Amino acid sequence: MNISNLIIYFITGGLVTTIIVVLEENGQRTLSELATLIPVFTLVAYFFIGQTKGGIAVGQHAKFVLAGTLISWVPYMLLVAYLSPRIGPNKAILAGLATFFVLALIYIVAANRFGFFK
């Protein structure tokens, strides 16, 4: 891996995130919501993984992420949705992220230990 690839990866992910925030701030809620639903990190990562490792690697990774999404991301989003109006967005996001990371790490350890998606 070379530095120019890292710079391209960084700029691509940051650009998409910036566009989402700018759309929301400028009252373009529908576009912001649509853009937010796009799996930005996986989209960018799979494009570059596909270029360097090929379709088999992308397919295996996609299966891993699909299961991981159900295990860690869905509970995160449910917590943020439930807690935000009750304790505020910052605390809700923090609680959601803590839950996400615990569940994600458990999932990653189990997937690696049992050889899922290899």
pLDDT tens per residue, range 25-52: 999 999 988 888 888 778 888 988 999 9
| Residue 79 · residue 99 · CB < 8 Å | yes
Residue 47 included in any domain: no
Q: What's the pTM?
A: 0.69
Assess if residue 27 is contained within a domain.
yes
List the domain range (segments joined by +) for residue 14. Answer: 1-38
Q: Is residue 45 part of a domain?
A: no
Look at residues 21, 32, 37, 1 and name the one whose alpha carbon lies nearest to residue 10: 1
Across the range 10-19, mean pLDDT stands at 85
Is residue 48 in a domain? no
How many independent structural domains does the chain possess? 2
Question: Bigger pLDDT: 25 or 13?
Answer: 25
pLDDT of residue 108: 95
The answer to whether residues 30 and 72 belong to one domain is no
